[in-house]
Structure 1
Amino acid sequence: MLAASLVVALALGLLVGPERQHVSTARSGDRALAERVERALGGATGGWRSLAVAEVTPDTVTWAGLGNAGAGRGTGVAPLDTTPYELGSITKTFTGSLLAQAIERGEARAEDPLASHLPELRGTPAGGVTLASLAQHSSGLPPIGATAAGSGFVASWGNEGPYASTSTAQLLRDAAAAPVDTQQPPTYSNLGFSLLGTALARAAGAPDYATLLRDRVTGPLGMADTGLAATPADIPADAAPGFHVNGLPAPRWDGEGYLPSGTATFTTLADLARWAQSQLGDGPGVAAQRPTAEMDGSGIGWAWVTTDLPAADGRPARELLWHNGGTGGFRTMLALDRAAGRGVIVLGNTTQSVDALGVALLEDRPAPVRTDPILLGVSWFVVGVAALLSLSALAAARRFRSGVHVVGSLAAAAFGLLLAWHSGPWFAVGAGSGGCCSRRRWQRPCSRRRPGAPGRCCPRGGPGSPSRGWW
């Protein structure tokens, strides 16, 4: 009977349990570029599910798709250059371009206080910060507003998006109540960038940020498949699904208020290549690229980050112009070497960072791929706590025969199982072992219970500099 139970548990784990993600053998596009991606990863494809990659020059685009861009398990179908992905904070480079264009058109100045374009903020600390400080993450505002912060924990455990409840009107109310710390070091702020985009729309006389973006960036460049999801109805039906690195589906993000910061932008490899080509040349708002401040050892302009790459392995020292992005189930990277006239785009549909891969492809070298030891240690600690809870519950259920004790023990065991399911190291091990271990912990005489409560693990991947994520 025990053997049969273990077989059933293993089957359930394989079918519906957490699954370590990896890039399958499905391929599309340029085979040589796909092979370069494989060499850069050195066979370490764990944590990713699909990768859409493009190499860009001012005149050419070469692209490749690797892995499963669909919802099912197995090999699946590789992404195309027309497959929509969630873009994340690379959208901030669009907003930076809009600021540069507004300055060129005389609609705004870098030193304008925010309240000069958003009168709702007059007399508040946020109303006094400048447009430049918002674009440089130096305004002193917090990373997100109170509404999004309040829903973040619940959204995380409920596998929901944290920004849907923030409309533009609510964003302004949150900003009016937000503190501004003038002594705060540069702090990445989605709240700040969302206010910047809203102010630029007002300055241009546009009805909203989405219209301004379409009129001045995506429309002129022919980026017809790039759009913003203010509501779930705006999400492309054929968009690649996002996943946590443990294989559980990630929530879609939508919501109006934070659109200028990139919380709900959908684009394709072909569209983003048009943007990259424009930024290698004299496209819209290229003045946004010029560094005007410092942040974390790099220069920052209007969103764009400039990092000096040292000479190494025969490669000369040069400047890397970049921005990355991330949402609930996606990671993205855009890296440009303007001096060489080259750029690389990487789109991935899990929460595994793609930053190092993008830079490695631009430099023609292997990518330093490693599992975060702190994340791995915390995840195994969670499993240890879950196992202790379950074993304690089993011992109590055998020791005490009353219904109250049995119910309480089962509740403790269920909590332990849910904890392990939600935050265990399933990005590093397979689902079958998780299902097997779960069933063994629950096995006891006369029990007909079955585990199976879904959860998730959402590690925050690393960034353009190995220790920081710019989302």
Structure 2
Amino acid sequence: MKNGLALVFAVLAVALAIISPWPPGLGETTTGDTRLAAALRDTAPSTGLRDASVALIENGTVRLAGVGDRPITPETPFEIGSITKTLTAMMIADLAEDGVLRLSDPVEALLPELKGTPAGRATLEELVSHRAGLPKTPAGGPQGVIRVVLSNFSGANPYPLSAESVLREAATAEVEGRGAVAYSNLGVALAGHAAARRAGKPYPDLLKERVLAPLGMTGTVVAGLGEEPPPGGALPHRANGHPVTPWTSPGYSPAGFGVWSTASDLARLLNGVIAGTAPGAGGAKPRFDAGSGERIGLAWFTTPKGGRQITWHNGGTGGSRSFAGFDAATGQGIIVLSNTAQDVDAVALRLLGVDEEDPSLSLPLLGLGILWPLIVVYASISPIRRVGDLNRLQAVNDAAWSAVLLYLAWVTGPWERLTVLPWLAAASLFAASVVIVLGRWRQLPAMSERAPGSQRWSVGLSLAFSALAAAAVTIPM
């Protein structure tokens, strides 16, 4: 019997070591400019990134490199997230230059269904400079809020919203602090849909006509709801290595949901903006105070960094990060695309020659990394903490809860910043508790002798809840 339990423990220990949440590092494969690839590896964090594509622009000359688990080329598509906002703003600026619309147009003049609403009174310029006072990203009612919360665990798409649902959210949105810069996905999405309505074309078609095609950005696509990523796309992951679902949302496409691009395409964009030849390139020039020395144009931010003025925008989805920035004074530009949720802003700025520190390890992040294993440790040692009243029903209940908690920690823990040893220690305690219970199984009563009826209900509800919790973080909604 003892030999059998020892074998069970050994098997569990090996299995736990194999499935431990070892975070990713940049893959060994290198393509393109070897010096640029080496510089990327030198500036990138040791964990949290998997595949990355980079473009460095110096006075019109573009150097390109890719690193990753597979060959990453300048044409490999990545989710670019909110960099799309600069494309939307440039599209609107180009339409304004051609007299199709005016930046001073209120939204209600283009979207009559918003007439008389606070959002309807906002101008296109206010929307694309984040000064309309609209909320950041309404999720589509209470059900949407639940979906967004659960997506943090399941990795599902949190905003599968149509353009019509986003317009309905805008119609009821409250406006606070109009005139001050407050980042809003809703605002830029609303501006993109308003421009598309005036032009009489869907947003993806209008963007292609006004910005993408003139710049030769043939690798940039707007994915529809539920559509597959473009062929060869770098699929998104959490920074701890777990894959997640790409974001698609026709409602929030103008703000960057469902938009994929390449380092090669975005280098064309930056070269055109720096040279002033891209459609709507004037939108990158600073226009309004954004606080702390920062200014904003039409979506583009300009921030003092190391004695230089860096004009930039970044992007982030559930499993991708991106950065596009340039120094107009020197003609230098940088693109960094990654398929994990590890920020690349500091990496990009250092490649641009700006001495930028990585964000410090925050207390909430530290707490998340340590709290999960502590909870699991407590839940996993039932044979010790229940030694006086251990029974089979309660042991099954404790094992189910421990497994769910371990799974949640495995999926969501910031293991790219913290060692996986706390999780492995907690998982080992869980395995040891399972072995101990199995060794005593025949001697254990079926249930508590003090209150068997109430225990059935309690454990039944507990098991049902743990099953629902596991399903909620596993099954996309």
Scaled to the shorter chain, the TM-score interval is 0.7 to 0.9
Partner of residue 249, structure 1: 243
Partner of residue 406, structure 1: 395
The one of 342, 346, 357 aligned to 2:347: 357
Structure 1: 5+ residue stretches without partners: 69-76, 311-316, 457-471
Question: Aligned partners of 2:383 and 2:360: how far apart in 1?
Answer: 33
Structure 1 residues 361 and 232 mapped into 2: Cα distance closer, same or farther (>3 Å)? same
Partner of residue 303, structure 1: 299
- Aligned residue for 2:102, secondary structure, equals coil
| Counterpart check, 1:124 vs 2:113 | no
Partner of residue 203, structure 1: 198
The one of 285, 302, 312 aligned to 2:280: 285
How do 1:183-332 and structure 2 match up within 5 A? 185-206=180-201, 208-281=202-275, 282-297=277-292, 298-310=294-306, 317-332=307-322
After superposing the two structures, state which structure 1 stretch, 381-390 or 440-449, moved more.
440-449
2:25·2:49 contact (CA, 8 Å) conserved in 1? yes
1:291·1:299 contact (CA, 8 Å) conserved in 2? yes
Question: Aligned partners of 1:237 and 1:353: how far apart in 2?
Answer: 24
Partner of residue 108, structure 1: 101
Structure 2: 5+ residue stretches without partners: 442-465
The one of 330, 336, 344 aligned to 1:346: 336
Once the two structures are TM-superposed, the CA of residue 186 in structure 1 deviates from its matched residue by 2.6
1:396·1:409 contact (CA, 8 Å) conserved in 2? no
- Aligned residue for 2:37, secondary structure, equals helix
Partner of residue 450, structure 2: none
Partner of residue 99, structure 1: 92
1:117·1:199 contact (CA, 8 Å) conserved in 2? yes
Partner of residue 150, structure 2: 154
Once the two structures are TM-superposed, the CA of residue 127 in structure 1 deviates from its matched residue by 0.9
Once the two structures are TM-superposed, the CA of residue 353 in structure 1 deviates from its matched residue by 0.7
2:54·2:336 contact (CA, 8 Å) conserved in 1? yes
Higher gyration radius (CA): 2
Q: Deviations over 1:94-146 (max 9, x none)?
A: 01101211221122222221111111111222111121111111211111124
The one of 163, 176, 183 aligned to 1:168: 163
Question: Aligned partners of 1:113 and 1:345: how far apart in 2?
Answer: 34
Structure 1 residues 409 and 204 mapped into 2: Cα distance closer, same or farther (>3 Å)? same
Partner of residue 418, structure 1: 407
Structure 1 residues 181 and 307 mapped into 2: Cα distance closer, same or farther (>3 Å)? same
1:28·1:78 contact (CA, 8 Å) conserved in 2? yes
Once the two structures are TM-superposed, the CA of residue 88 in structure 1 deviates from its matched residue by 0.7
Partner of residue 83, structure 1: 76
2:370·2:422 contact (CA, 8 Å) conserved in 1? no
Partner of residue 383, structure 1: 373
Q: Which amino acid aligns with 2:156?
A: E
Question: Aligned partners of 2:71 and 2:105: how far apart in 1?
Answer: 47
Once the two structures are TM-superposed, the CA of residue 90 in structure 1 deviates from its matched residue by 0.4
1:380·1:425 contact (CA, 8 Å) conserved in 2? no
1:99·1:288 contact (CA, 8 Å) conserved in 2? no
Once the two structures are TM-superposed, the CA of residue 400 in structure 1 deviates from its matched residue by 2.4
Cα RMSD of the aligned pairs, angstroms, is 2.7
Partner of residue 52, structure 2: 51
Question: Aligned partners of 2:223 and 2:17: how far apart in 1?
Answer: 33
Question: Aligned partners of 1:342 and 1:29: how far apart in 2?
Answer: 19
Partner of residue 428, structure 1: 417
Q: Which amino acid aligns with 2:28?
A: T
1:418·1:455 contact (CA, 8 Å) conserved in 2? no
After superposing the two structures, state which structure 1 stretch, 174-183 or 187-196, moved more.
174-183
- Aligned residue for 2:49, secondary structure, equals coil
Hey, which of these two has a bigger chunk of helix by percent?
2
Q: Which amino acid aligns with 1:214?
A: K
Once the two structures are TM-superposed, the CA of residue 447 in structure 1 deviates from its matched residue by 3.5
Question: Aligned partners of 1:364 and 1:143: how far apart in 2?
Answer: 29
Aligned length: 435
Q: Deviations over 1:276-330 (max 9, x none)?
A: 11111121101111222122421001100011234xxxxxx33111000011111
Give the structure-1-normalised TM-score: 0.85
2:376·2:426 contact (CA, 8 Å) conserved in 1? no
Once the two structures are TM-superposed, the CA of residue 230 in structure 1 deviates from its matched residue by 1.3
Question: Aligned partners of 1:387 and 1:401: how far apart in 2?
Answer: 17
After superposing the two structures, state which structure 1 stretch, 170-179 or 399-408, moved more.
399-408
Give the structure-2-normalised TM-score: 0.84
Question: Aligned partners of 2:237 and 2:19: how far apart in 1?
Answer: 14
| Counterpart check, 1:140 vs 2:136 | no
Question: Aligned partners of 2:233 and 2:10: how far apart in 1?
Answer: 36
Structure 1 residues 344 and 437 mapped into 2: Cα distance closer, same or farther (>3 Å)? same
Question: Aligned partners of 1:104 and 1:27: how far apart in 2?
Answer: 42
1:397·1:405 contact (CA, 8 Å) conserved in 2? no
Question: Aligned partners of 1:395 and 1:263: how far apart in 2?
Answer: 49
Question: Aligned partners of 2:423 and 2:379: how far apart in 1?
Answer: 16
